[in-house]
Amino acid sequence: MTDYFTETGSAETVNARISPDADARLAAVMASLVRHLHAFVKDVTLTEAEWETAIAFLTRTGQMCSDTRQEFILLSDVLGVSMLVDAVNNRKPAGSTPSTVFGPFHVDGVPERKMGANISLDGVGEPCLFRGRVVDLEGRPIAGATVDVWSDNADGFYDVQQPDTQPQHNNRGIFVTGADGRYWFTGIKPVSYPIPDDGPVGEMLGHLGRHPWRPAHMHFLVSAPGYDRLITHTFVAGDDYLASDAVFGVKAPLIVDFARTDAGPEAGPETPLWQADYDFVLPPA
Ligand code: BEZ
Ligand code: FE
Protein backbone atom coordinates (compact mmCIF):
# COMPACT_ATOMS: atom_id res chain seq x y z
CA MET A 1 0.00 0.00 0.00
CA THR A 2 1.29 3.46 -0.85
CA ASP A 3 2.47 5.26 2.26
CA TYR A 4 1.14 8.79 1.68
CA PHE A 5 2.23 11.60 4.02
CA THR A 6 0.12 12.07 7.16
CA GLU A 7 0.69 14.18 10.27
CA THR A 8 0.92 11.18 12.57
CA GLY A 9 3.22 9.04 10.44
CA SER A 10 5.26 11.89 8.92
CA ALA A 11 8.76 10.93 10.05
CA GLU A 12 8.31 7.24 9.25
CA THR A 13 7.07 8.11 5.73
CA VAL A 14 10.13 10.29 5.04
CA ASN A 15 12.57 7.77 6.48
CA ALA A 16 11.03 4.90 4.50
CA ARG A 17 12.44 6.56 1.37
CA ILE A 18 16.04 6.05 2.48
CA SER A 19 17.51 3.38 0.25
CA PRO A 20 18.75 0.16 1.86
CA ASP A 21 21.93 0.82 -0.18
CA ALA A 22 22.60 4.16 1.58
CA ASP A 23 25.59 4.30 3.89
CA ALA A 24 24.39 2.75 7.18
CA ARG A 25 25.69 5.51 9.46
CA LEU A 26 24.31 8.26 7.21
CA ALA A 27 20.92 6.50 7.14
CA ALA A 28 20.85 6.20 10.95
CA VAL A 29 21.89 9.83 11.53
CA MET A 30 19.43 11.24 8.99
CA ALA A 31 16.53 9.07 10.22
CA SER A 32 17.11 10.28 13.77
CA LEU A 33 17.41 13.89 12.61
CA VAL A 34 14.10 13.62 10.74
CA ARG A 35 12.37 12.02 13.76
CA HIS A 36 13.56 14.80 16.07
CA LEU A 37 12.78 17.60 13.60
CA HIS A 38 9.26 16.32 13.03
CA ALA A 39 8.71 15.87 16.77
CA PHE A 40 9.89 19.47 17.29
CA VAL A 41 7.47 20.86 14.68
CA LYS A 42 4.62 18.97 16.34
CA ASP A 43 5.72 19.90 19.86
CA VAL A 44 5.55 23.65 19.22
CA THR A 45 2.96 23.49 16.41
CA LEU A 46 5.34 25.57 14.31
CA THR A 47 3.46 28.31 12.44
CA GLU A 48 4.14 29.08 8.78
CA ALA A 49 5.42 32.53 9.78
CA GLU A 50 7.84 30.97 12.27
CA TRP A 51 9.02 28.50 9.64
CA GLU A 52 9.71 31.40 7.26
CA THR A 53 11.56 33.29 10.02
CA ALA A 54 13.71 30.22 10.66
CA ILE A 55 14.54 29.82 6.96
CA ALA A 56 15.46 33.52 6.71
CA PHE A 57 17.62 33.25 9.86
CA LEU A 58 19.51 30.21 8.52
CA THR A 59 19.95 31.95 5.16
CA ARG A 60 21.48 35.01 6.87
CA THR A 61 23.65 32.71 8.99
CA GLY A 62 25.08 31.14 5.84
CA GLN A 63 25.53 34.52 4.18
CA MET A 64 27.51 35.75 7.20
CA CYS A 65 30.09 32.98 6.76
CA SER A 66 33.44 33.74 5.15
CA ASP A 67 37.02 32.49 5.40
CA THR A 68 37.35 34.34 8.71
CA ARG A 69 33.81 34.08 10.11
CA GLN A 70 31.95 30.83 10.78
CA GLU A 71 28.48 31.86 11.91
CA PHE A 72 27.13 28.27 11.87
CA ILE A 73 29.78 27.14 14.38
CA LEU A 74 28.89 30.16 16.49
CA LEU A 75 25.24 29.07 16.34
CA SER A 76 26.24 25.57 17.39
CA ASP A 77 28.32 27.08 20.23
CA VAL A 78 25.56 29.26 21.71
CA LEU A 79 23.03 26.42 21.48
CA GLY A 80 25.34 24.18 23.52
CA VAL A 81 25.72 21.76 20.59
CA SER A 82 29.49 22.23 20.28
CA MET A 83 29.97 21.41 23.97
CA LEU A 84 27.66 18.39 23.67
CA VAL A 85 29.55 17.06 20.64
CA ASP A 86 32.75 17.59 22.64
CA ALA A 87 31.25 15.77 25.65
CA VAL A 88 30.07 12.67 23.78
CA ASN A 89 33.39 12.38 21.94
CA ASN A 90 35.73 13.02 24.87
CA ARG A 91 34.61 10.72 27.67
CA LYS A 92 37.99 10.60 29.33
CA PRO A 93 39.19 8.40 32.20
CA ALA A 94 39.01 9.90 35.71
CA GLY A 95 41.96 12.14 36.42
CA SER A 96 42.30 13.42 32.84
CA THR A 97 42.13 17.15 32.19
CA PRO A 98 38.67 17.92 30.77
CA SER A 99 38.28 19.27 27.26
CA THR A 100 36.23 22.25 26.21
CA VAL A 101 35.10 24.09 23.09
CA PHE A 102 37.76 24.74 20.41
CA GLY A 103 36.39 28.10 19.26
CA PRO A 104 37.02 29.81 15.92
CA PHE A 105 40.26 31.63 16.71
CA HIS A 106 42.91 28.90 16.53
CA VAL A 107 45.48 29.50 13.80
CA ASP A 108 47.69 26.94 12.09
CA GLY A 109 51.32 27.70 11.34
CA VAL A 110 52.13 29.61 14.53
CA PRO A 111 55.90 29.54 15.22
CA GLU A 112 57.36 27.25 17.86
CA ARG A 113 58.87 29.50 20.53
CA LYS A 114 61.67 28.92 22.97
CA MET A 115 60.38 27.72 26.32
CA GLY A 116 59.75 30.78 28.50
CA ALA A 117 59.19 33.17 25.60
CA ASN A 118 56.82 36.11 25.83
CA ILE A 119 53.83 35.67 23.47
CA SER A 120 52.53 39.20 24.08
CA LEU A 121 54.05 40.78 20.98
CA ASP A 122 52.32 44.14 21.47
CA GLY A 123 53.34 44.32 25.14
CA VAL A 124 49.86 45.52 26.14
CA GLY A 125 48.12 43.95 29.12
CA GLU A 126 49.07 42.62 32.53
CA PRO A 127 52.01 40.19 32.12
CA CYS A 128 51.24 36.71 33.37
CA LEU A 129 53.47 33.66 33.74
CA PHE A 130 51.76 30.44 32.63
CA ARG A 131 53.49 27.29 33.78
CA GLY A 132 52.93 23.68 34.67
CA ARG A 133 53.56 20.18 33.43
CA VAL A 134 52.14 17.81 30.87
CA VAL A 135 51.78 14.43 32.57
CA ASP A 136 50.17 11.02 32.06
CA LEU A 137 47.49 9.50 34.29
CA GLU A 138 50.18 8.27 36.69
CA GLY A 139 51.66 11.76 36.98
CA ARG A 140 54.75 10.91 34.91
CA PRO A 141 56.06 13.78 32.77
CA ILE A 142 55.40 13.59 29.04
CA ALA A 143 58.42 14.74 27.03
CA GLY A 144 57.97 16.15 23.54
CA ALA A 145 54.39 17.32 24.16
CA THR A 146 53.31 20.23 21.97
CA VAL A 147 51.55 23.00 23.89
CA ASP A 148 49.80 25.33 21.44
CA VAL A 149 48.35 28.40 23.20
CA TRP A 150 46.27 31.41 22.17
CA SER A 151 44.40 34.19 23.94
CA ASP A 152 42.79 37.54 23.31
CA ASN A 153 44.63 40.82 23.81
CA ALA A 154 44.01 43.33 26.58
CA ASP A 155 41.04 44.75 24.62
CA GLY A 156 39.38 41.34 24.24
CA PHE A 157 40.27 40.69 20.59
CA TYR A 158 42.32 37.93 18.94
CA ASP A 159 45.03 38.99 16.47
CA VAL A 160 42.98 37.61 13.57
CA GLN A 161 40.11 39.94 14.50
CA GLN A 162 42.38 42.98 14.28
CA PRO A 163 44.90 42.19 11.52
CA ASP A 164 45.55 45.90 10.97
CA THR A 165 46.32 46.80 14.57
CA GLN A 166 47.79 43.67 16.22
CA PRO A 167 51.07 42.00 15.23
CA GLN A 168 50.53 38.66 13.51
CA HIS A 169 50.56 35.82 16.09
CA ASN A 170 50.13 38.24 18.99
CA ASN A 171 49.33 36.19 22.12
CA ARG A 172 49.98 32.87 20.37
CA GLY A 173 52.77 30.37 20.55
CA ILE A 174 53.77 26.74 20.40
CA PHE A 175 56.02 25.23 23.07
CA VAL A 176 57.47 21.74 23.25
CA THR A 177 58.12 20.11 26.62
CA GLY A 178 61.47 18.60 27.58
CA ALA A 179 62.12 15.48 29.66
CA ASP A 180 60.54 17.04 32.77
CA GLY A 181 57.22 17.64 30.92
CA ARG A 182 57.33 21.29 31.98
CA TYR A 183 56.04 24.27 29.99
CA TRP A 184 56.27 27.95 30.85
CA PHE A 185 55.75 31.14 28.96
CA THR A 186 54.70 34.72 29.56
CA GLY A 187 51.52 36.12 28.10
CA ILE A 188 48.94 38.48 29.49
CA LYS A 189 46.23 37.79 32.02
CA PRO A 190 43.34 37.19 29.60
CA VAL A 191 40.23 39.37 29.78
CA SER A 192 36.60 38.42 29.22
CA TYR A 193 35.21 39.31 25.78
CA PRO A 194 31.98 39.06 23.80
CA ILE A 195 31.79 36.48 21.00
CA PRO A 196 31.20 38.13 17.61
CA ASP A 197 27.62 39.38 18.00
CA ASP A 198 27.14 41.63 14.97
CA GLY A 199 25.43 38.85 12.96
CA PRO A 200 22.29 36.72 13.15
CA VAL A 201 23.58 34.74 16.15
CA GLY A 202 24.08 37.96 18.15
CA GLU A 203 20.62 39.08 17.06
CA MET A 204 19.14 35.79 18.30
CA LEU A 205 20.95 36.13 21.65
CA GLY A 206 19.47 39.63 21.98
CA HIS A 207 15.92 38.37 21.35
CA LEU A 208 16.45 35.67 23.99
CA GLY A 209 17.76 38.15 26.57
CA ARG A 210 21.17 36.41 26.56
CA HIS A 211 24.53 38.19 26.69
CA PRO A 212 27.41 37.28 24.33
CA TRP A 213 30.25 37.28 26.89
CA ARG A 214 32.85 34.61 27.54
CA PRO A 215 34.78 34.54 30.83
CA ALA A 216 38.52 35.27 30.51
CA HIS A 217 40.48 32.21 29.41
CA MET A 218 43.69 30.96 27.83
CA HIS A 219 43.30 28.35 25.08
CA PHE A 220 45.47 25.22 25.06
CA LEU A 221 45.82 22.48 22.48
CA VAL A 222 48.10 19.85 24.00
CA SER A 223 49.26 16.87 21.97
CA ALA A 224 51.86 14.16 22.32
CA PRO A 225 52.45 10.93 20.40
CA GLY A 226 50.63 8.03 22.06
CA TYR A 227 48.24 10.28 24.03
CA ASP A 228 44.77 11.71 23.47
CA ARG A 229 44.87 15.20 22.00
CA LEU A 230 43.48 17.73 24.47
CA ILE A 231 41.62 20.91 23.46
CA THR A 232 40.89 23.00 26.49
CA HIS A 233 41.13 26.38 28.27
CA THR A 234 42.14 27.59 31.68
CA PHE A 235 39.63 30.10 33.07
CA VAL A 236 40.46 32.99 35.38
CA ALA A 237 38.91 32.33 38.80
CA GLY A 238 36.57 35.10 39.94
CA ASP A 239 35.56 36.17 36.43
CA ASP A 240 32.04 37.65 36.27
CA TYR A 241 30.98 35.35 33.41
CA LEU A 242 32.08 31.93 34.70
CA ALA A 243 28.48 30.94 35.46
CA SER A 244 27.02 32.32 32.23
CA ASP A 245 29.60 31.67 29.49
CA ALA A 246 27.81 32.36 26.19
CA VAL A 247 29.11 29.04 24.79
CA PHE A 248 28.89 26.89 27.97
CA GLY A 249 32.62 26.08 27.95
CA VAL A 250 33.34 26.33 31.68
CA LYS A 251 34.10 23.18 33.71
CA ALA A 252 35.04 23.47 37.38
CA PRO A 253 38.46 21.73 37.08
CA LEU A 254 39.50 24.29 34.44
CA ILE A 255 39.08 27.31 36.74
CA VAL A 256 42.50 28.48 37.88
CA ASP A 257 43.62 30.93 40.53
CA PHE A 258 45.63 33.60 38.78
CA ALA A 259 47.88 34.60 41.66
CA ARG A 260 49.50 37.99 42.02
CA THR A 261 53.31 37.74 41.99
CA ASP A 262 55.53 39.86 44.22
CA ALA A 263 57.04 41.84 41.37
CA GLY A 264 56.25 45.56 41.52
CA PRO A 265 55.90 47.84 38.49
CA GLU A 266 59.54 48.87 38.95
CA ALA A 267 60.49 45.32 37.88
CA GLY A 268 59.85 46.34 34.25
CA PRO A 269 57.01 45.97 31.75
CA GLU A 270 57.73 42.32 30.89
CA THR A 271 57.95 41.05 34.45
CA PRO A 272 54.92 38.92 35.24
CA LEU A 273 52.47 40.47 37.69
CA TRP A 274 50.38 37.29 37.66
CA GLN A 275 51.03 33.61 37.52
CA ALA A 276 48.78 30.72 36.57
CA ASP A 277 49.98 27.21 37.40
CA TYR A 278 48.25 24.31 35.70
CA ASP A 279 49.14 20.71 34.89
CA PHE A 280 47.61 18.93 31.89
CA VAL A 281 46.87 15.23 32.34
CA LEU A 282 46.63 13.24 29.11
CA PRO A 283 45.19 9.72 28.91
CA PRO A 284 46.75 7.26 26.45
CA ALA A 285 45.39 7.41 22.90
C1 BEZ B 1 36.71 31.33 21.88
O2 BEZ B 1 36.88 31.07 23.04
O3 BEZ B 1 37.67 31.75 21.26
C4 BEZ B 1 35.34 31.20 21.28
C5 BEZ B 1 34.62 30.03 21.45
C6 BEZ B 1 33.36 29.91 20.89
C7 BEZ B 1 32.82 30.96 20.16
C8 BEZ B 1 33.54 32.14 20.00
C9 BEZ B 1 34.80 32.26 20.57
FE1 FE C 1 38.63 32.36 23.32
> From ligand 1's centre to the CA of 25, what distance in Å?
30
How confident is residue 8, by pLDDT bands cut at 50, 70 and 90? very high
188 C-alpha vs ligand 1 centroid, how far in Å?
18
Lowest mean pLDDT among 30-39, 113-122, 263-272: 263-272
Confidence check: pLDDT of 14 > 80: yes
CATH class of 81-282: mainly beta
Specify whether the CB–CB gap between 68 and 104 falls below 8 A: no
pLDDT in the model for residue 67? 85
Instruction: Output the CA 95–ligand 1 centroid distance in Å.
Output: 25
The reply to whether ligand 1 has any atom less than 6 angstroms from the CB of 129 is: no
Q: What pLDDT is recorded for position 272?
A: 80
Q: Which atom of ligand 1 is nearest to the CA of 214?
A: 2
Q: How many CA atoms lie within 13 A of 2 on its CB side?
A: 2
Q: What is the pLDDT of residues 112-167, one digit of tens each?
A: 999 999 999 999 999 999 999 999 999 999 999 999 999 999 999 999 999 999 99
Task: Determine which residue's CA is closest to atom 3 belonging to ligand 1.
Answer: 103
Percent of the chain with pLDDT over 90: 93
Residue 218 in contact with ligand 1 by CB distance below 6 A: no
- Region 225-247 average pLDDT: 98
Closest ligand to Cα 106: 1
Q: Are 135 and 280 in contact (CB under 8 A)?
A: yes
Model confidence at 264, pLDDT cuts 50, 70, 90, reads low
**pLDDT of 268 higher than 90:** no
Q: How confident is the model at residue 20 (pLDDT cuts 50, 70, 90)?
A: very high
Instruction: For residue range 66-103, list pLDDT tens digits in order.
Output: 988 899 999 999 999 999 999 999 999 999 999 999 99
**Separation of 74 CA from ligand 2 center, angstroms?**
12
Nearest CA to ligand 1 atom 9: 103
Q: How far is CA 4 from CA 33, 37, 40, 60, in A?
A: 20, 19, 21, 34
- Spatial separation of the C-alpha atoms in residues 250 and 252, rounded to whole Å: 7
Q: What average pLDDT does the structure give for the chain?
A: 95
- Mean pLDDT over 37-52 rounds to 98
Q: Find out whether the beta carbon of 201 lies less than 6 Å from any atom of ligand 1.
A: no
| pLDDT for residue 263 | 65
Listed ranges 2-11, 192-201, 268-277; the one with the highest mean pLDDT: 192-201
152 CA from centroid of ligand 2 (Å)? 7
**pLDDT interval class at 266 (50, 70, 90):** low
Is the beta carbon of 102 within 6 A of some atom in ligand 1?
no
Q: What is the mean pLDDT of residues 196-221?
A: 98
pLDDT band at 31 (very low <50, low <70, confident <90, very high): very high
Residue 202 Cβ contacting ligand 1 at under 6 Å: no
Indicate the range of 112-121, 222-231, 264-273 predicted with least confidence: 264-273
Closest CA to 233 of 245, 225, 224: 245
| Rounded average pLDDT over 203-214 | 98
Residues 6 or more apart whose CB falls under 8 angstroms from that of 152 comprise: 158, 171, 190, 191, 193
Q: What's the pLDDT band for 255 if we cut at 50, 70, 90?
A: very high
Establish whether residue 199 lines the binding site of ligand 1, counting it when its CB lies within 6 angstroms of any ligand atom: no
Of ligand 1's listed atoms, the one at least distance from the Cα of 196 is 8
- Check pLDDT > 80 for residue 267: no
Give distance in angstroms: CA of 93 to centre of ligand 2.
26
pLDDT above 70: residue 54 = yes
Q: How far apart are CA 192 and CA 169, in angstroms?
A: 19
Instruction: Give the number of the ligand closest to the Cα of residue 105.
Output: 1
CB of 216 sitting under 6 A from ligand 1? no
Q: To 5 degrees, how large is the angle CA 218–CA 223–CA 224? A: 145
Average pLDDT over residues 219-241: 98
pTM of the model: 0.93
Q: Whose CA is nearest to atom 2 of ligand 1?
A: 103
